[in-house]
Structures are given as structure tokens and as C-alpha cells.
A and B are shown apart, each in its own frame.
Chain A
């Protein structure tokens, strides 16, 4: 592989881009002096000579997908297997057409090897999150073959897309963070896995095709994974097909890993350090913590049901919204960007909840819009800097601090939030009796949240919760009476051997209720996802007592 200095730059951008081997042109805005410079760091690129032989690379990757199709995990589901073969077929056809066209024109293709820091560091951080999360939620590990297939697909697709449009493909770790980041938020169920491939394809198409001029360079507008996640989220919501994905499970099982906030915070520091994005993350977190606290102070109930910031949102504000390529360059711009993300998540959570749509899309929908706003944010900051107010308020001083200074603020902020019990650990909203009491007292949205919580527990096989839902719809107390819904909930509870529900079903009316059983309590006290299945009965009753279940306290007292 000979070194080339006369070819296009990384990513095959327009000829206006700087030659490879040099640092890309930097914006005129101040650059942090910390080790975490905004610019992506990269080793010197190496470029092959043009040849059609390079097409063997996507061919081999396509073969990898074909081989992975024989994994038992894939073979267990005929539609999943078909999705794999569909991806293979699409790539092979594309490859054949491209090869024929190149042969006809007598052209070759080449690739430049360029390892960008922002890609491999992010990929390592994401991989560590999968490793930790998967240790406590095994479907992540069982998904490994599907990850590999997506990586192979992503590389092959990206290569074919690049070589269909230009001579050079920049080979590095670029597809890793796109695949990992996408999968941290949405997995399509096995029957619909072809949409996972399509989602990745849309991400790469968005990166390749949807571009604009920014600071003299033609660059992609959207964070590729956030773009495709946002787009697919919109479509899933609009078509009422949110049940095709494991989105809720992904969002809720992160907390199965103990101290997940602390873990995300710790690995997030790596990104914050290297990519100078502390202001984005910190500002978003401050808005979310502040917004939650304000709402709670006004209404008496938490804004997010069982946390101050849901773990998946906390993950998002470290890894989804912080792509340095698609966020503002200037410190004030980053601050505004973070604030807008925080406000966006707060607003979307409320809107989605009101619309009866799964709320875990809150962190995904606003990122593409924010990506679109960065030129405006940068322009606004430039305008503000030019104004007298900037000088008058001495803002230059505040925003000229190096990234390490912002990190020095972020670390104690997080530690204080943790010390106050606002990250890991039990949360007021984990307690169902709290919501029952809040509902009886008529606190804002408490009854609606109580119903939503009971529906979640019922879906997870808590017979007690199903019976309570049946009673709610029979009595028309928490929601409009609905006999059919009530019968459905009573039936489910009865089949889960909850005798009160069977009696309600038989009588065709409510009235029979009893305390949660041990299995119910194992679910009702799981505090965002902890596994209580192996806890002893005394431990479960003690925990239930801590949650405010009076009958459990009585039982604990009797056993003393």
C-alpha cells in the first residue's frame, strides 16, 4: 500500500477538502487547549492503488453474513434467517452491478485506511457498555451474532455506497459506533430483523447523501445513528408498530446492571475528555435534573416515573447527542445544544406520554432536529459574540475555559446528584404505594401514571397488577369504565392464579381484591429492573415494607 497525498480526503469529501495527511481545516472558533481537541484525531491515512480486486472485501463481508445465517440463534427463526439471506442478496446484486459497471468502464476502486480516534474510542466505550449490561441481561450476549452480521453488513454497504459514487472508500472504524449506537436504542424483533439492516442502510445513506456546507467543508448533517433512529422512531410511532422492536426492554433493562449511572458516567468521561463535549452532556444533564426537580417540587410527583433521568436518556446524553461532527463547535454553542437536548427530552417525554406512545423514544426524536439546528446555533453564537452583551457579561472568560475545567464541574455535579440519590439506587417513584397515595390525593398525572405502571407490571405477569387494572376499568375510578378491558385484565390475572380476579370474572363485576403475593412483590419492588427472583421471602417482604406496603410491614412485624 503506497502512501498517497494527492487523493481525496477522508470520507471522500469534495475536492475542496484538505489533502489527506494533514489536519483537516479547522474552524475559526477557539479550540480547547485540552487533550480533547474537537477535531477527530487520526493516524496518517494509507491508500491502496485503484483496482477492481478491492471488491473482494465487500464480497467476503457478504459471505460472513451468509455464514452467520447458519448460527442456531438465527436458524431458530425462519424469518430471521430470511432477513439474513435478504441482506446477502441485496449486497450481492449491488456488488455484481458495480463490478460490471467498473469492468465496462475499465475503472478500479481503492480504499484509504484512516483510523479516527472518535470512531475507535466511541466503539470501545460502547462495547464496554454492552459487556457490562449484557452481564446482567443475557439477551445482549445472545445477540452477539446479530451484532457481527450488522457490522459486516454496515461495512459492505458503506463500501459499496462509497465506490458507487467515487473512487475511494475510507476504511476505518467508522461503522462500529454507528452499529453499536443504533443497537443501544432499538433492536427489531427477530421476525422483523430485515428492518434492522434497513435501519443501518438508512443511517449510512443519510451520512453519505444528506450533506451541507459547514465552515467551508461539505459534511454530513446528521449523526448517522441518531438520524436513522429518529426516522424509524417516527415511522414506528406513526404506524402504531412500536411493538416490533425491543425498545422498551432495552430502555428498562439497562438498570439491571448495578450502578449503571455510575458506570455510564465513568466510561462517558472518556468521551468527554477526548471529544470536548462536556458542555453538551453537562448542560443536558443539568436541564434534566433541574427540570425533574422543578416538576417534582410543583406537583409532588416525579417527572420521569422512577428516576430523575432515565438510564437510557443518561446513556443518550453521553453517546447519542455528543457526536463532535454533528454538534456545534464553539463552547457556547455546545452549551445551547445541550440545553436544547435536555428541554427536548423533557418535552417529548411529556408529549409521548400524553399521546399514549412509549416514552422511550423521547431521547431519539429530537437529535436529528438538533443536528439541523447547529448552523443556526453557531451563527447565533457568532452574533452574540459580536454584540456588546458578550463583552459586558464577560462571557468570553466563561467560555474560554479548557474542557478539563468543564469536566471539573461535571464530576462534582454528578457526584452531588448521586449523593442525593438521584441516579443509582431507589427512587420515590419506584414505590407503587406512593403512586396509589398520590392518585388518591389527586396529584397531577398520578392516576394516569399508576395505571401505566400497573399495565407494565401486568404485562410482566403480576397477577395483582392485572386485577387492580381490571378493578380500575370496572369501577371507572382511575380511567373511564371499560367492561371489555376489565374482563381481559381479570382473565389474565385469573390465569395467573389470582383468586380474587377469578371471582371478579365470575361475578362479572369488581369488588374482590387481595394483597400482592410474593411473586407480585418480586416484580413490584424491582426498582427499575433489579432481579428479585432469588431473594428470600423475608427479604421480599422487608423490601415491600420499605416501599410502603403496609401488609408487608405487618407481616415483617409478626415474624420478629
Chain B
């Protein structure tokens, strides 16, 4: 015992080393308040009306919410003579107000991606959440505060999940096996889905109607809360609720998807469409073009998915 007591300094030193070791071993990967914020525990409802809890809370229909938009030409851009609210950047060219763009068949989400869908993605993929606003919304409201990169990451993850899962409806599984990809819509795809082929100004016609879209309002609403039987392809919230990221870099018209990589030296700016709950009629028109930094996470920017070849 005496010998042990005589060695107490050495024992104390060893004890201290072990204490430090233990303390650091138990340390979380990233200290709180530092660069990498921890994602909060994601709480998901057991059920959500209109959505499938067993299928990543995607819409409960035969294509999990993807709606076909047949291929063919449509009118893109705005003619101020017809639409006095049009911005200059919607003009096709100095000599031409609008252009005709032939878009191959694609599928687009009936609704904007919801908070529940995004939360499943975060939970299952461990995707880093840079803005907690992406997880604090209600489960059937559009997810917002997501960057363009987050939206793309969600699309990539969902495609993998759909490919690997047995719950994926057969038509959708077939498309994926045929080489279709889950992604964001191009701005041409988005505009065609919003205004159809008749060149209308708003998705619901040539004039805005407060009962058909969430705009000039206090905040987000449930996806599909505003019914719009007049809207082409039965899509919801193409006007208002949340701005939607597209996979098109912002470039001057005329639109040409093949020149997307033409200006790599310019600062990145990506097109978003559709306006949000806080915008007025001018910004919820089908042809309006917003631009944002790909890293922007704002409480009025969300996205919807597309299936493209």
C-alpha cells in the first residue's frame, strides 16, 4: 500500500492522460457552434394524407407524383405587347419577342417537394443541413431554405432510392431502367409545364386569381392547397407558394440548352421560377425568370422534381 501511495504522482499522471483521452474520445465529430452544424433529429409523421409514408412521402398515385408533359413545341418568353407586366429579360431577342422551343417528353412533379420528403432524405442519406429552416417546416408544406446543390442532391438520392426499391411503381421503374433520370426541370421544361402550349401568361390563364395560387400572402401553404383545374397538366403551385430551382444556368435569351456550359468563367447564377407567397402578380407569371446564387438558402425558395432523359 505504501509503495502504491509513493507512486501516486505517476498514477495521477496516467489518470489524467486517460481522462483526457476519454474526454476526447467521447467528443462529437464537430463541436457545437463550429463550422458543421448538426442536423436536428428529424421527426416524421406516421401518416400524411395524400402521400405514401412507405415511399418517402411521395404523392400517393401511380407515378408517385410525376406527371407526363408530352413532347412538342411551345411558346417561350414574353411579348410586352400582350403581357404588360413582362420584364425585359423575358424578351427572346432584339428582333423577336417570343420564341418556339421544342421540348421532348418529360415528367414533372405535381407538387413542390415537401418538408417530409426532404426530411426523409436527410435522415436516410445523412445529407448536411446548412440551414435548419429546411427541416423546421410542416411536413406537407414545400421545403424551403434549400440551396440549388441541396435540391440536386435530393434528386440524386431519390433516383437511387427509386431504382433500388420494390415499392417503385412499375411504370416509373421502367422509365428509370430506360435511362430516365430524376433531376430538376430545365427552365424550358418548367415554363412549358406552367403555361402549356397556348402561350398563356399565368398558369391559370391570362389573369391572376387569388383563390387559385398562394401569392401576396403571409406565408407558405400546404402543397396543392390551391386547386387549379385550369392549370395545364394538373400541376399545383406553379404560381407562388415557393420559388423553384431549375437546372438551367441564367443566360440571356434566346434559350438554348446546348450552350449551358458556354460561360464557365462567369459567376454562377441559376434560374428559379414561379414566384413565391410573398410576390405580387408580376412575379408569378409563367414566363418570369428569377436568378439566385446556387448556395442561396432562403425561406421562399424550394424546388420540384422532373424526370428527364
Identify which of B9, B247, B294 contacts A497 (C-beta below 8 A): B294
Q: Choose, from A189-197, A273-281, A395-403, the stretch at the interface.
A: A189-197
Q: Is B149 an interface residue (CB 8 A)?
A: yes
Complex CA distance for A122 and B50, rounded to whole angstroms: 73
Q: Is A205 an interface residue (CB 8 A)?
A: yes
Complex CA distance for A487 and B125, rounded to whole angstroms: 14
A497 touches B20 (CB 8 A): no
Q: Is A495 an interface residue (CB 8 A)?
A: yes
Q: Is A241 an interface residue (CB 8 A)?
A: yes
Q: Is B34 an interface residue (CB 8 A)?
A: yes
* A491-B149, A499-B268, A503-B261 known; A235+B24 contact, CB < 8 A: yes
State the Cβ distance, A410 to closest chain B Cβ, in Å: 36
Q: Choose, from B11-19, B96-104, B135-143, the stretch at the interface.
A: B11-19
B23 touches A195 (CB 8 A): yes
* A191-B31, A191-B33 known; A499+B153 contact, CB < 8 A: no
Q: Give every chain A residue within 8 A of B270 (Cβ-Cβ).
A: 502
Q: Give every chain A residue within 8 A of B258 (Cβ-Cβ).
A: none
Contact indicator per residue, chain B 249-272, by CB within 8 Å of chain A (1) or not (0): 100000000001101111111100
B153 touches A236 (CB 8 A): no
Interface hits, B6-40 → A, CB 8 Å: 9-10, 12-13, 16-17, 20-21, 23-25, 27, 30-34
* A205-B13, A496-B295, A505-B152 known; A236+B264 contact, CB < 8 A: no
Complex CA distance for A513 and B264, rounded to whole angstroms: 8
State the Cβ distance, B222 to closest chain A Cβ, in Å: 29
Tell me the nearest residue of chain A to B130, going by C-beta: A495
Tell me the nearest residue of chain A to B21, going by C-beta: A235
* A77-B33, A191-B33, A206-B13 known; A499+B295 contact, CB < 8 A: no
Q: Is A210 an interface residue (CB 8 A)?
A: yes
A515 touches B32 (CB 8 A): no
Question: How extensive is the interface on chain A, given as a class?
Answer: 35 or more
B13 touches A244 (CB 8 A): no
A210 touches B9 (CB 8 A): yes
For B10, B260, B263, B268, the residue with the greatest tally of chain A CB atoms inside 10 Å of its CB is: B268
Q: Is A506 an interface residue (CB 8 A)?
A: yes
Q: Is B147 an interface residue (CB 8 A)?
A: yes
Q: Give every chain A residue within 8 A of B152 (Cβ-Cβ).
A: 505-506
Contact indicator per residue, chain A 493-529, by CB within 8 Å of chain B (1) or not (0): 0111111111101101000111101000000000000
Tally A-B pairs: CB < 8 A.
104
Complex CA distance for A144 and B23, rounded to whole angstroms: 27
Identify which of A190, A209, A232, A495 contacts B20 (C-beta below 8 A): A232
A515 touches B9 (CB 8 A): no
* A195-B23, A506-B152 known; A498+B268 contact, CB < 8 A: yes
B149 touches A241 (CB 8 A): no
Interface hits, B142-179 → A, CB 8 Å: 147-149, 152-153, 156
Identify which of B31, B156, B263 contacts A189 (C-beta below 8 A): B31
Q: Is A559 an interface residue (CB 8 A)?
A: no
Q: Is B293 an interface residue (CB 8 A)?
A: yes
Tell me the nearest residue of chain B to A241, going by C-beta: B24
A514 touches B17 (CB 8 A): no
Contact indicator per residue, chain A 50-61, by CB within 8 Å of chain B (1) or not (0): 000000000000
B149 touches A494 (CB 8 A): yes
Q: Give every chain B residue within 8 A of A243 (Cβ-Cβ).
A: 30-31
B12 touches A192 (CB 8 A): no
State the Cβ distance, A442 to closest chain B Cβ, in Å: 29
A502 touches B31 (CB 8 A): no
B268 touches A497 (CB 8 A): yes
Q: List 4 A-B pairs, minimum CB-CB distance, nearest first.
A: A495-B295, A209-B9, A239-B24, A191-B31
Q: List 12 A-B contacts (CB under 8 A).
A: A191-B32, A208-B9, A210-B9, A238-B21, A239-B21, A241-B24, A497-B269, A497-B294, A499-B264, A502-B270, A512-B261, A513-B264
Can you add 15 more A-B contacts, CB < 8 Å, to A491-B153, A495-B295? A189-B31, A190-B33, A191-B32, A210-B13, A232-B20, A235-B20, A243-B31, A244-B27, A494-B148, A494-B268, A499-B267, A502-B148, A502-B294, A503-B264, A517-B267
The residues of A with any CB-CB pair to B shorter than 8 Å are 77, 79, 189-192, 195, 198, 201-202, 205-206, 208-210, 231-232, 235-236, 238-239, 241, 243-244, 487, 491, 494-503, 505-506, 508, 512-515, 517
